A and B are shown apart, each in its own frame.
Chain A
Amino acid sequence: MILVVAEHRDGKLNRATLETIAAAQSVGAPIKAVVLGSGVDGLAKELAAADVAEVIVADDPSLKDYTADGFVLALEQLIGAENPERVFLPHTYQTRDFAPALAARVKRPLVTDCVAIKSGAYVRPMFQGKLQADIAVEGPHVATFQIGAFRADAMKAGGSAAVKKASLQIDASKIRQKPEAPFKEAKQAVDLSQAERIVSVGRGIKGQEHLQLAQQLAQAMGAEIAASRPICDAGWLPMDRQIGSSGQTVAPKLYVALGISGAIQHLVGMKGSRTIVAINKDPEAPIFEIADYGIVGDLFEVVPAMIAELNK
């Protein structure tokens, strides 16, 4: 049996949960889905519409707001009661916060960020996505699935699974994290999701003084300028220009990646773009896997030539 841990925010299941159910369905074993929270009967009903054997509601006032300790306590009890062979979760920031502690608590191996399932092994990226590895695990285990690795629309519906309440004993005094309400930083100045074209720069740009070159290309293309995380971390561009899991998600008509290697955290923010161009000196850069057009070369030679061509 596979236990899928659902995730939700603002009263809605997130897409990654449906993707994780799709991953579990591809295995072919019976599935139980669990939703944790307080007052989550509606979400349980939604889950029950998926093709799963059973939906478990872990409803407790102490689970109203997510905390790592609360979720570990609840799931430790559930795993003890249900004894699933596998526990599947979406590889979200929330999962990353508690799943390693849960796996250690229940003494099961945890394979994170999986993109495919083989018999006896999980496939996941390593070395920033430059390599892929098959990870073999034996016995009961926990696995998390990369966002977008399985398709939410491939999830089989058609169930009217029974919904049951889990009986939990959660000692709220054992929850050591006290969370405040989530918030967004000051309103973002630029909404890159509306841009038709984006020129995005990564580490390959080497220095802040070279941003001008990318800006000239953006101007010649009628594009907005954006960047991968390290560029914003360094303060070369403001944080609201960042594309990726911690920044904005975009799907423009054209996305030009300059000197971006293509770590998964960046790819999730832009892989829906209609046409992707990658210019990078490393022929093995993962960005080339999702690019429509690729040039292996020095961006400081290629970009000026592009600008000249565009301005002809």
Chain B
Amino acid sequence: MKIAVCIKQVVTREWQLRVNDQKTWIRDQDASFELNEPDAYALEEALRLKEKHGGEVIVCSAGPARATQVIREALARGADRAIHVEADSLATADANAIAEALAGAIKGEQVDLVLTGLQSDDQGFGQVGVVLAEKLGMPHATIIMEVQKSDSGLRVKRELEGGWFQWVALPLPALLTIQSGINQLRYATLKGIMAAKKKEIRKVTPASAAPTQRISSIYFPEKGKKTRMLPGSPADAAKELVKRLREEARAL
């Protein structure tokens, strides 16, 4: 199977977010970045499918130059080659623009399967995968927890809400969005990191896509509920908390 995996570089979870002066995006000049977590699971699933059924794994990312970091990491984990659709504007682009950029990169590759994470940890619209399927004319299924290859295509396990699941069959080529936890992630070995240096990263310029929506303001949410913050040393705070849970909330 020839598999394309779409990955995104996002700021690390630990990084303390700050908003820029225009309040249109975060101030990420000095941020640290990582591979979007659901995309890491999509990559892992692609690598496992390749190990089982043979083929090739092509990693695709639409983002600014710094996205090379996560592309290299994906190559080090075992992807065969990469396509980097590079433009500064893609760092904050909407789902339509990102899907358009990825579609342009994938179209000529004649892949059997496209995998991506179900959503990004930054904007979190949860749209790119499904819009990409539409642009590529492929059937899709989302929030996938298991992938089986069948004679006629795929049989995949969709996660529904509240502990329910559903198997869905679909023909190839197809696109799946992958849920975190579908597999156990591997990490790059030293050998993988060395090998990645020789792997091809093809750079592509995206066709321009007009934005369909824009962030007019981004800000820290107001606290909705009156939270009683308990200050002091850990011991003092813990003592006060237990007292309040007993006497005020009557929860113990």
Contacts and interface: CB of A to CB of B under 8 A. Distances in A.
Given A127-B121, A306-B241, 20 more contacts: A97-B130, A97-B142, A103-B127, A110-B125, A110-B127, A126-B122, A126-B124, A127-B11, A130-B17, A133-B217, A134-B215, A137-B213, A141-B213, A179-B166, A275-B251, A277-B241, A289-B225, A291-B227, A293-B228, A310-B252
A185 B159 CA distance: 11
A20 interface: no
Contacts of B26: 127, 131
Interface string A295-312: 111100111011011100
A177 interface: yes
What are the 6 tightest A-B residue pairs by CB atom distance, in nearest-first order?
Answer: A233-B181, A305-B238, A176-B139, A100-B130, A301-B234, A109-B212
A235 interface: yes
Given A137-B212, A188-B163, A131 B228 contact: no
Interface stretch (A24-32, A38-46, A50-58, A247-255): A247-255
Contacts of A195: none
Interface in B203-240: 212-221, 223-225, 227-230, 234-235, 237-239
A294 B219 contact: no
A297 B245 CA distance: 18
B239 A309 contact: yes
B221 A131 contact: yes
A127 B122 contact: yes
B133 interface: yes
A232 interface: yes
Interface string B120-139: 01111111111101110001
Contact of B96 (A109, A127, A184): A109
Contacts of B168: 67, 177-180
Given A104-B135, A131-B220, A293-B228, A309 B242 contact: yes
B22 interface: no
Nearest to A303: B238
25 contacts: A67-B168, A96-B118, A96-B130, A101-B130, A121-B216, A127-B124, A131-B26, A132-B219, A133-B218, A177-B141, A179-B167, A197-B252, A229-B181, A249-B162, A254-B245, A274-B249, A288-B227, A289-B223, A290-B224, A293-B241, A294-B228, A295-B237, A302-B238, A305-B235, A309-B238
B66 interface: no
A287 B175 CA distance: 34
A128 interface: yes
Contact of A254 (B96, B121, B140, B249): B249
Contacts of B123: 126
B243 to A, nearest CB: 8
B251 A254 contact: yes
Contacts of A103: 127, 131
Task: Give the size category of A's interface with B.
Answer: 35 or more
B17 A101 contact: no
A158 interface: no
Nearest to A291: B227
A284 B16 contact: yes
B184 to A, nearest CB: 7
A294 B212 contact: no
A181 B121 contact: no
Given A137-B212, A291-B225, A104 B131 contact: yes
Nearest to B10: A127
B171 interface: yes
A112 interface: yes
A105 B229 CA distance: 48
Nearest to B174: A176
